[in-house]
Amino acid sequence: MPLLRRHAILSLAALGLAPVFGARAAAPLAPMLAQDAPPGIDPAGYLVSEKLDGVRALWDGARLRFRSGTDIVAPAWFTAALPARALDGELWLGRGGFEATVGTVRRATPDDDAWRRVHYALFDLPGDPRPFAQRAEALAALAASLRQPFVQAVAQRSLPDAAALARELDAVVRSGGEGLMLHRAVAPWRAGRSADLLKLKPWTDAEGVVVAHLPGRGRHEGRLGALRVRLPDGRSFRLGTGFSDAERASPPPVGSRVSFRHQGRTDDGLPRFASFWRVRGDE
């Protein structure tokens, strides 16, 4: 499916797109977060889009920030093109471009040439009380009205049944994509994690905070053997697979947030067969 689309230009006033936040928001936005989709989910009642492999970025009308709330240092021309209202989206360089995106958006001094390859792919209007289906239509019109090729709305579509959803997931993954997002069409916007927003991928992923480096043995003597990772519930576990030689020589620092893939949970609720994926790009 096409990833991004533009709609005809419409009046922002007619769409109810008056700014929700003041020009100088004092606190970072609290994002809407996804749960894992249950097996065999019926997509009826949801709008489906590709899950982009980029860096989450929230615009409050004046500042661009990572999900953590830390400012993103973008070129002035980039932020000057954004409207005086809240946006939620992904800074994205295309499929397989996660590492390059992170390298670009985390620089303390922005590389102008690198930023000109970045897209701000929008998927929601934080704080807007309308159902998601209406927000998605308004967001597409807003993105089109900005007339900026690097600001685009993520395409949303309806799928008739679980078989169609499975085919869509397979097509996206085969093309190098990460998975799909399902957003309940009638759901209002609300911060935090809920079943109104689901992620569907061919694996399960989670994240935690690095609390210790465990030394390696044998072939890995003298470098990282495993990370001790603390989960959101406060428990920790040993994450010892999935690292490249370069990552073992220079591991994610203590205090950083990392993502890992796993195959379900053990009887005591810890990740089973966990494998390191990457350092989060929005720290």
Mind telling me the catalytic residues? Answer: 51
In this structure, what token pair is assigned to residue 86? Answer: 């809240």
The pair phi, psi for residue 44, each rounded to 5°, is -60, 130
Task: Spell out the residues 6+ positions from residue 229 whose beta carbon is closer than 8 angstroms to its own.
Answer: 208, 209, 210, 211, 236, 237, 238, 239, 258, 260
Q: What b/e sequence results for 83-103 when a residue is b if at least 16 CB atoms lie within 10 Å of its CB, and e otherwise?
A: bebbbbbbbbbbbebbeebbe
Residue type, 203: W
Order of all β-strands in the sheet with 4-5: 4-5, 151-154, 119-124, 87-92, 55-59, 64-65
Helix (H, G, I), strand (E, B) or coil at 9: coil
- Cα 73 to its chain centre, rounded Å, is 18
